[in-house]
């Protein structure tokens, strides 16, 4: 006797239901193919592996570091939702610019370190320069010895990438040494500054031409960008200040340029005292006017325009300074909001 098609379908469905009803050993809580998507909630926190004294613990460091939360600009008293700082830093600037201070020079690059790192590798490959060692976390890349045209003594170069002062920027430093003397230790400054500067110019041009299509190194981005160089802080005494992780000489020069870009006119300065006397000019363009509308609540007249301010800078360590802004007129109505807004404007123009 034949079996109809519908009967076959019914038997197939019935068999499947019967099989699945007893599939606890496959898909149940203790089954071979159980759902593991929630297992992470039950994972215990294990102690850090103890490494014997004298042994290298680099391989056991945290892969994804959780940065400290910087609760900047938390005002005492009545709470007001903070507005975002103005996006003034680097507006209209070139992707790559060579900066110079005294005998030091470096490239300021308008992309994050993780994007600069593979481009430096690409430059060395294109130039046929062999790499001797790399440390992506520290942002260091050393070349092998090479003989440059017209030079009788071989040289090698160290490329050092750092987080820039502003978010999303990088700094590239080039160090050169001759194949003479102690070749196992890098000098504090280049043996031949001209060679180092020529190499910096060459790689800067390469970066400028290829920045738009640069890949990203997550390892370098994680290591080099682990900490920022600039932040706004509030002191125990209640005033707000800019904390800048730069040596004094460079911080002083950077602050002077930032003031001129931030609607201030510097009328006097005293480097040894860390003091700028500056007149606040107010908005000088329609774009600035829009930002000052935010700062002063959209008033037609800007009450602080024409007022004199004292901008001071002091060392807090060998590699960090503190910048503070105060009105020179003690009777001037100068609120915490005004103080933080003007410091944010200066902060956005420091590089």
| DSSP secondary structure, 149-214, as one string | TT-SS-EEEEEEEEE-SSTT-EEEEEEEEESSS-TTS--SS-SSHHHHHHHHHHHHHHHHHHGGG-
Report the half-sphere exposure of 202 (CA within 13 A, side-chain side).
16
pLDDT tens-place values along the chain, 351 residues long: 555 545 445 445 445 444 455 555 555 666 666 777 777 778 787 777 788 887 777 666 665 556 555 554 544 444 444 455 554 444 334 688 899 888 889 999 888 888 888 899 989 998 899 999 999 888 899 999 998 888 888 999 999 998 888 888 889 999 999 988 788 889 999 999 999 999 999 999 988 887 665 555 555 555 565 556 888 899 888 899 999 999 999 999 999 999 998 889 999 999 999 999 999 988 765 555 555 555 555 555 578 889 999 999 999 988 899 999 999 998 898 888 889 889 998 998 888
Last residue of a domain, one of 224, 251, 266: 224
Say if 123 falls within a structural domain: yes
Owning domain of residue 334: 230-347
Structural domain ending residue among the three candidates 224, 247, 268: 224
Question: Count of residues for the chain?
Answer: 351
Number of structural domains in the chain? 2
Residue 200 in any domain: the answer is: yes
Q: Is residue 109 part of a domain?
A: yes
Is the full-model pTM beyond 0.75? no
Residues 235 and 218 in one domain: no
- Please give the full DSSP string across 66-130, using - where no structure is assigned: -PPP--TT--SSS--PPPPPP--TTTT--SEEEEEETTEEEEEESS-HHHHHHHHHHHHHHHTPP
């Amino acid at each position: 006797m034949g079996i109809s098609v519908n009967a076959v379908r019914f038997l197939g469905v019935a068999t499947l239901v019967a099989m699945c009803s007893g599939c606890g050993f496959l898909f149940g809580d203790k089954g071979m193919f159980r759902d593991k998507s929630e297992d992470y909630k039950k994972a215990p926190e294990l102690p850090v592996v103890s490494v014997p004294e004298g042994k290298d613990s680099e391989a056991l460091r945290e892969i994804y570091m959780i940065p400290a939360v910087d609760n900047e600009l938390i005002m005492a008293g009545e709470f007001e939702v903070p507005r975002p700082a103005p996006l003034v830093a680097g507006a209209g600037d070139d992707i790559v610019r060579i900066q110079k201070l005294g005998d030091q020079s470096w490239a300021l690059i308008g992309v994050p370190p993780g994007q600069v790192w593979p481009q430096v590798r690409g430059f060395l490959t294109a130039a046929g320069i062999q790499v001797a060692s790399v440390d992506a976390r520290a942002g260091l890349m050393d070349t092998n010895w090479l003989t440059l045209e017209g030079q009788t003594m071989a040289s090698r170069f160290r490329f050092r990438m750092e987080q820039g002062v502003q978010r999303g920027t990088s700094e590239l430093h080039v160090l050169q040494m001759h194949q003479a003397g102690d070749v196992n230790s890098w000098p504090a400054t280049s043996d031949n500054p001209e060679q180092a500067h020529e190499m910096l110019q060459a790689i800067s041009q390469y970066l400028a031409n290829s920045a738009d299509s640069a890949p990203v190194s997550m390892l370098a981005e994680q290591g080099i960008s682990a900490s920022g160089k600039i932040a706004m802080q509030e002191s125990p005494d209640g005033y707000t200040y800019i904390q800048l992780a730069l040596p004094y000489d460079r911080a002083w020069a950077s602050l002077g340029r930032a003031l001129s870009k931030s609607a201030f006119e510097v009328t006097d300065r005293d480097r040894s005292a860390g003091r700028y006397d500056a007149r606040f000019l107010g908005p000088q363009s329609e774009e600035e006017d829009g930002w000052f509308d935010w700062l002063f609540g959209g008033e037609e007249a800007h009450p602080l325009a024409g007022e004199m301010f004292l901008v001071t800078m002091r060392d807090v360590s060998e590699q960090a300074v503190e910048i503070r802004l105060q009105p020179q007129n003690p009777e001037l109505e100068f609120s915490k909001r005004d103080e933080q807004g003007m410091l944010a404007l200066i902060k956005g123009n420091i590089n």
